[in-house]
Amino acid sequence: MSATSPARAGLAGLLAAALLGGCYKVPSPPPTGVSSFEVLVTHVTKAGTQTPVDVVKACVDRHGGIQGNVPEAERGTLACPYVISNTAVDFEVFVTARTAQRDEAGTLKQATDFNSPVALRSVPGDLALSYPYRWLQITEGSGHGVMRSSHLYAEMRVWAEDAPVELLYDGGTVIAGAPAEPEPPAKRSYATGSSRVIYFADPTLQSLQNVAGTTFSTLNSPLEQQFVKVGRAGVMDAGIGTPQDTLRQNCPGDPAHDGKPVQMVVTGLDCCGFFATDITACALPEDNSDANAQFRVAEPNGYYPGRFASLYVYNYSHPDDLNEGDLLWSIAGSVQEFTG
């Protein structure tokens, strides 16, 4: 055993005191620049017009059966979703850049020194192939513009991002017209922000087919090449129109099926998948307005004999534990048209 001398103990104490005296806190510099965006959508209209996008029949019925009677504040909510539109939709957007610093009320301060174009995003949805509808200019921390998008369904949001605007191409060549990027040494932060959820109708098999007018083609379906979910497993005692309710039909021209639960039945099986038919789908009024038709016999009742509410689900293999007559709660996958 060995004992520490008083001199060595004193030296150790001095070293410890010196080490303790060298420890001190270095405050972090306050964060600067934009940290996020506040995105507000004030109007949702049919592209190029001031006409609001239609909402589902159940909501219209609560307001006397007239689309124009539905308050704008109620449109696009869970209880009053927009219909799935065959054409593009305009969103009037106000964007405010926010810093990471808060004021006395706890609100993020506006980034008044932020001056830059920001990219817009539609999730889900496809932006119009025109630069003016794909970005907006932020000046002293705020900006206003119009985003145009299509292929909108279910829950969607408008996003703003401190990022370059996605370029458009024509035959491999960049189309001119994109906003200029900030000059160096300015850098993109890739900060983002989104609007509240804007509700559109949930897709049905009939809306996937979307036989428009006299074309008899599903190539113009607003859900072509989209990943969608059709149907919803509802709770037995859920109220009609609640999030726990089953998916229900929206049939403005067919009162007999309007509001009925979507019922997708397996109608056929083969080696690579199965066929499903929505047996409560809306009856569709016949359209005989095609001026190029040489001869056409109108249906006596004014409705198509079919409802365009069947789908083939390509599963790559024979589906297990599935039989003809089975009732499906939901189907999910990407929509692709093979035959037109």
Q: Which helix (H) or strand (E) holds 127?
A: strand 126-127
Least-confidence region, from 117-126, 160-169, 224-233: 224-233
pLDDT tier, 339 (very low <50, low <70, confident <90, very high otherwise): low
Q: Are 228 and 201 in contact, with CB atoms under 8 Å apart?
A: no
For residue 319, is pLDDT > 70? yes
pLDDT over threshold 70, residue 242: yes
Q: Which position has the token pair 């972090």?
A: 28
| Mean pLDDT on 236-248 | 81
* pLDDT attached to residue 185: 67
Q: How far apart are CA 209 and CA 205, in angstroms?
A: 7
Measured CA to CA in angstroms, residue 318 lies from 80, 121, 272, 322 at distances of: 40, 39, 5, 9
Q: What per-residue confidence (pLDDT) applies to 133?
A: 97
- What Cα–Cα distance (Å) separates residue 147 from each residue in 15, 56, 160? 66, 23, 10
Core vs surface per residue 26-39: b (16+ CB within 10 A) or e: eeeeeeeebbbbbb
Long-range contacts of 261-264 (CB under 8 A, 24+ apart): 261/234, 262/204, 262/230, 262/231, 263/327, 264/205, 264/230, 264/231, 264/327, 264/328, 264/331
CA-based end-to-end distance of the chain: 94
Gap between the Cα atoms of 82 and 116, Å rounded: 32
Tell me the pLDDT band of 238, cut-offs 50, 70 and 90.
confident
Query: What is the reported pLDDT for 10?
Result: 57
Write the burial class of residue 337 (CB in 10 Å: 0-12 exposed, 13-18 middle, 19+ buried).
Answer: middle
For residue 20, is pLDDT > 70? no
Handedness of CA 213, 226, 307, 339 (dihedral sign): positive
Q: 191-229: per-residue pLDDT in tens?
A: 999 999 999 999 999 988 876 555 556 666 778 788 889
